[in-house]
Amino acid sequence: MKVNEIFYSLQGEGHYTGTPAVFVRFAGCNLRCWFCDTDFERGSEMSEDDIVASVLQYPSPYVVITGGEPTLQLTASLCEKLHAKGRFLMMETNGTHELAAGCQVNWITCSPKMITEKDGEGKLATIRLSHIDELKVVFEGSPTQDMSLYEQISANEYRLQPCDTGNAERNKEVLAKTLDFILQHPKWKLSLQTHKILNVR
Ligand code: SF4
């Protein structure tokens, strides 16, 4: 398995915000999003047992399996080995690739992505997951972002996260639009990138 990094921090986003967790970041992704801020290409080969041993160095039972796109590499046997050690598995996925047969994950967060067609039109990448606990959408505050597309995706929880544009003034505008949208559409809850606010990983 090609792993980008394994580190210990707080879950910064979504339902489990503030939870201490071990992050297992798999290398590789099947999409190329223009806004991607993850260095997912680089990685080292690790066996399943190496990964389990790294995870067990840390005291939290929570493990965030992320990437890149973790469904490209996650196996049922790695899930079993981590469960056998009492770990609670949370996954962050773009949802475009099915889980391998037998993979048991306790919590699935899906962050759907827009892809650009050959004709230049934006289209929501097809979701191939049979179950989503939490749908997390990055809100750009743009009238061209059709939120009804996301609402057609079945999930237990819907979270909206203001896009980090890299510009403080623009971020204030996006946050205000995010709050306004949530107040008008209470199916959605706010997700903040608290790790950036706290300046931790
Ligand atoms: S799906 Fe996620 S990891 Fe992959 S390119 Fe898009 S933002 Fe980056």
Q: Does 120 score more than 70 pLDDT?
A: no
Res. 118: pLDDT tops 70: no
Catalytic residue among 23, 26, 40, 139: 23
Which residues line ligand 1 at a C-beta cut-off of 6 Å?
A: 29, 31-33, 36, 38, 40, 67-69, 94, 113
38 is catalytic: yes
The whole-angstrom separation of Cα 40 and Cα 25 is: 8
Name the closest-CA residue to atom 7, ligand 1: 36
Domain boundaries, the chain: 2-198
Pocket test for ligand 1, best of 5, 40, 137 (most atoms within 8 A of CB): 40
Quick: pLDDT tens for 20-71.
Answer: 999 999 999 999 887 787 888 899 999 999 999 999 999 999 999 999 999 9
Q: What atom in ligand 1 is closest to the CA of residue 94?
A: 1
Class level of CATH domain 2-198: alpha beta
Q: What is the best residue among 69, 124, 129 to mutate for testing ligand 1's pocket, by most ligand atoms within 8 Å of CB?
A: 69
Most confident segment among 87-96, 122-131, 146-155: 87-96
3-state secondary structure of 93: strand
Question: What burial class does residue 41 get, using C-beta atoms within 10 Å of its C-beta: 0-12 exposed, 13-18 middle, 19+ buried?
Answer: exposed
Per DSSP, the residues of 21-71 read EEEEEE---S---TT-----S--EE--HHHHHHHHTTSS-SEEEEESS-GG
**Whether the Cβ atoms of residue 169 and residue 157 lie closer than 8 Å to each other:** no
Tokens read off for 52? 């389990």
Please state, in angstroms and rounded to a whole number, the distance separating the CA atoms of residues 100 and 111.
Answer: 19
Give the C-alpha distances (Å, rounded to integers) separating 165 from 124, 138, 141, 172, 194.
Answer: 20, 11, 11, 10, 15
Q: Which backbone phi and psi does 32 adopt, to 5 degrees?
A: -135, 75
Lowest mean pLDDT across 102-111, 115-124, 125-134, 170-179: 115-124
Average pLDDT value over all residues in the chain: 93
